[in-house]
């Protein structure tokens, strides 16, 4: 094979052997680079996080819902107010229950007056019966005495048999009247009073139940703290699943977060988080840090989205963070190699 010559200054073409050598070298370099990248992908680990949203709450926290459904009749406390345990926040319409209470009380007072009247009558009747029995005993004794004297006179021939018969009849009548009065049952009116008192106790229980139904329409705070009122208006129909207020009590603050049910199994107590709060977002936003302390076991549903609630420690430092401040957080759930992280492998 002859030599390749040129007069224009062009570079000589690469020989086939040299071309193969370069190709092999490039493949080797590329393979080494791929191997290095593959190894780095297993060596390099990145943080795995779960996104969560929520707000700052207090250590003592409560959601206030009505215990029964009804129409809001009165709103007594608004957002920002400081209240004590048992304070009346709002009231549902209780006109029907109040009417039932008043009706039961009216029946109670009426029956109570009837019992007092019957007790007075019973006392007077017992006195009258004792008096009548006493008089009947005297009449029977007098009739028996007259009959005895008449028989003595008859024996001496000073009285007729007809007179004796008349006195005997009078004695029998007096004895019958005495027996009739003694046979009266004084316990019968007492048993009647006992039945009325039982009815009075039943009315007392009815008043207690009606009053309890009325009190269930009073919405009171379960703890002391600061109030955040939800959006509801007078005249609105609310149900037991309607949140009307949130109460934040206690000096210590916590972060209440919602985790999608999909990632709920990744969260355990002790994991750290970083959170951004709405008032401190911006170019140089402040990040707050803490740890997950408690996970609620109940899966909740809102708008077709299921989630689990978790609670984390929170320290605002010297920054003012009122309860209810919204937050976005990233919860660290461990570290993954780069390849698992990129391809979403758990």
* pLDDT reported for residue 292: 92
* pLDDT reported for residue 338: 62
> Exposed, middle or buried, 58 (CB in 10 Å: 0-12/13-18/19+)?
buried
* pLDDT reported for residue 1: 47
Q: Give pLDDT tens digits along the chain (346 positions).
A: 455 555 555 666 667 777 778 777 888 888 888 887 777 666 666 678 889 999 998 888 888 999 999 999 999 998 888 899 999 999 999 999 999 999 999 999 998 888 888 877 777 777 777 777 788 788 888 878 877 777 777 777 776 777 777 777 877 887 787 777 777 766 666 777 788 888 888 889 999 999 999 999 999 999 998 888 888 999 999 999 889 998 888 778 889 999 998 888 889 999 999 999 988 887 677 889 999 998 888 888 887 889 999 999 998 888 888 888 899 999 988 776 666 666 666 6
* pLDDT reported for residue 346: 60
* pLDDT reported for residue 327: 93
Q: Alpha-carbon distance 309 to 302, whole Å?
A: 12
* pLDDT reported for residue 34: 84
Q: Alpha-carbon distance 14 to 345, whole Å?
A: 47
Residues forming a β-bridge with 205: none
* pLDDT reported for residue 27: 83
* pLDDT reported for residue 148: 78
pTM value is 0.54
């Amino acid at each position: 094979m002859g030599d390749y010559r040129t007069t224009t200054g062009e570079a000589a073409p690469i020989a086939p052997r040299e071309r193969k050598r370069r190709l092999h070298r490039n493949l080797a370099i590329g393979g080494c680079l791929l191997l290095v990248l593959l190894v780095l992908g297993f060596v390099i680990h990145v943080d795995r996080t779960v996104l969560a949203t929520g707000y700052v709450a207090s250590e003592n926290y409560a959601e206030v819902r009505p215990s029964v459904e009804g129409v809001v009749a009165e709103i007594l406390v608004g957002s920002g107010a400081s209240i004590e345990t048992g304070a009346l926040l709002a009231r549902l319409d209780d006109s029907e229950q109040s009417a039932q209470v008043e009706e039961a009380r009216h029946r109670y007072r009426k029956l109570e007056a009837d019992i007092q009247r019957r007790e007075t009558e019973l006392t007077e009747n017992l006195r009258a019966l004792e008096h009548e029995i006493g008089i009947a005993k005297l009449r029977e004794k007098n009739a028996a005495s007259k009959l005895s004297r008449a028989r003595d006179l008859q024996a001496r021939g000073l009285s007729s048999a007809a007179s004796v018969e008349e006195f005997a009849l009078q004695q029998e009548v007096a004895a019958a009247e005495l027996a009739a009065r003694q046979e009266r049952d004084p316990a019968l009116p007492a048993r009647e009073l006992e039945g009325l008192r039982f009815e009075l106790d039943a009315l007392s229980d009815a008043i207690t139940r009606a009053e309890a139904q009325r009190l269930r329409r009073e919405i009171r705070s379960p703890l002391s703290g600061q109030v955040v009122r939800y959006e509801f208006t007078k005249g609105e129909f609310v149900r037991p699943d309607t949140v009307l207020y949130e109460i934040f009590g206690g000096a210590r603050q916590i972060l209440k977060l919602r985790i999608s049910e999909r990632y709920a199994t990744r969260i355990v107590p002790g994991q750290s988080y970083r959170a951004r709060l709405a008032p401190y977002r911006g170019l140089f936003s402040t990040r707050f840090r803490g740890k997950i302390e408690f996970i609620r076991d109940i899966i909740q549903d809102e708008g077709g989205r299921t989630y689990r609630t978790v609670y984390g420690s929170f320290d605002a430092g010297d920054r003012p963070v009122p309860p209810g401040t919204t937050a976005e957080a990233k919860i660290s759930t461990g570290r993954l190699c780069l390849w698992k992280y990129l391809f979403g492998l758990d």
